[in-house]
Amino acid sequence: MLELVKTLIGVIPNCDPLLEIWPIGFRTYNLLVPNCLNLPFSLFGLGAPKHLVGLAMYASSRVAACAYCSAHTFAFALRRGAKPASLTGYRDLREEVVFTVAEAMARVPSDLTTSQCVALTEHFSTEDVEWIVLSIGLMGFLNKFMDALGVELESKSINEVGALLTLTGWSPGQHAEVDVKIPNESVLPKKDSLGTYFRVLQQVPSAIRLEQHWTTDVPNQWPEAGVFLEKHTGHSFPILSHLRHKRVIRALTTVLRDNLDSEQSEVGLTAKCLAGFVYATVVKNKTSEQEARLIAGRLAPSLDETTFDPISRFAAKPSVEDISSYQQTLLDLSELPGMSKRDAAAILLARAASSSPARIDPKLLRDISPLLTPASIVELIVWLSVQQLLQRLGSFYAVTKVYEVQAECQATPNRTT
């Protein structure tokens, strides 16, 4: 898995050892990346044009203000054949359509429009649209994780694309030392070659065997995946019903099952259910708020409205800076029904991490660190990152559903709506 990622972006990312602090987090990452990007098949020209997928990944990372992912996706796109000019602002029509959709999906809340979705479907097949949308969704996961934990950007990545990226207003920010030196000229990564393909093919058989082990007995189509998740988590996650590609359905189903497995959880499912609710409240997603309540009804039955209502008011604060005292907030939250002080620390961290970009300051970390282990922190951020992936996918399919209903009404004007 590590060698595959190194081949794709030129480095083994610094996020990998952090993810492995909570092993399910590392598994989640290794299931989402290859499946949402249709790897290795996309490298050989199957699916959406790979340079446009790279462009979508980059555009969404810039809007999310994740300097770490912006550097990696810039290099990813160049390796897949994107022109530097298309990344820095000079794009043709199809590139602009992809770029615009990616930016809109990545904003919080999303401001994706019907016309943007229609433009995407006019330029790409249904299958290719799904791959482009999935790449943007994947970056929702990666953007949130890298930004919330402030993962250090590798010096090789800075040397490769730093000089060119600075022309767009980019800086490494929290992902590098203050005095980091950005070279005057970028040594741009080389495009995919026969050597790239050979190195990938060397690693694929072992990666496939590992993935098959992780996904054993997990369904790969709807509605079976929904029934499976209903059984294991108490919720069917209907967002999966929109997806066509079986490998993606199986990967996401596995990720959701594993992340909501009480035996695998370090932070506890009470904190996890509430963290998902906090994220949905921060991004103003009523559907996700309701889903978080449904999941809690199965996995954390001690929670009820006497807990959700004050948590909702807390999460709705304009920013974490409006919290006057972290210690007092921890005390207040821990006194809610069904809550422990550890749960309260998780909720406080979730509120700070759910903002885009995240608003986690040193004082907050000092106050919660006695209550949360490193594995708990990684687990919580992984779960919020999964929420952001689902949020981006949901923003696209909510708009396309409206478009489909409108089209149906226009086709049958005499039908009662």
Let me know whether 75 and 94 are in one domain: yes
Let me know whether 310 and 354 are in one domain: yes
pLDDT reading at 111 higher than 60: yes
Pick the closest to residue 164 from 140, 136, 142, 189 (CA basis).
Answer: 189
Domain of 240 in residue numbering reads as 216-265
Helix intervals (H) in 64-124: 67-79, 84-88, 93-106, 114-123
Q: Is residue 404 part of a domain?
A: no
Let me know whether 258 and 317 are in one domain: no
Q: Rounded mean pLDDT of the chain?
A: 92
Q: Is residue 187 part of a domain?
A: yes
Degrees to nearest 5, angle at CA 72 with 68 and 73: 115
Let me know whether 161 and 232 are in one domain: no
Let me know whether 231 and 282 are in one domain: no
Work out how many domains the chain is built from and give that number.
Answer: 3
What does the pLDDT average to over 47-68? 96
Q: What would the pLDDT profile of 195-243 be if each residue is shown by its tens digit? A: 999 988 888 888 899 999 999 999 999 999 999 999 999 999 999 999 9
Q: What would the pLDDT profile of 279-319 be if each residue is shown by its tens digit? A: 999 999 999 999 999 999 899 998 999 999 999 999 998 77
Which positions ≥6 away from 137 have C-beta within 8 Å?
36, 105, 389, 390, 392, 393
| Tokens linked to 397 | 């399919």
Let me know whether 156 and 303 are in one domain: no
Let me know whether 91 and 170 are in one domain: yes
Q: Is residue 401 part of a domain?
A: no
* Domain boundary residue, one of 214, 235, 251: 214
Q: Is residue 400 part of a domain?
A: no
* Domain boundary residue, one of 333, 356, 372: 372
| Separation CA 305–CA 311 (nearest Å) | 9
Q: Is residue 387 part of a domain?
A: no
Q: Is residue 393 part of a domain?
A: no
Let me know whether 174 and 296 are in one domain: no
Q: Is residue 305 part of a domain?
A: yes
pLDDT reading at 97 higher than 80: yes
Let me know whether 361 and 284 are in one domain: yes
Let me know whether 52 and 142 are in one domain: yes
Q: Is residue 87 part of a domain?
A: yes
Let me know whether 244 and 277 are in one domain: no
| Separation CA 414–CA 417 (nearest Å) | 9
* Domain boundary residue, one of 265, 300, 327: 265
Q: Which residue has the higher pLDDT, 325 or 150?
A: 150
Let me know whether 175 and 102 are in one domain: yes
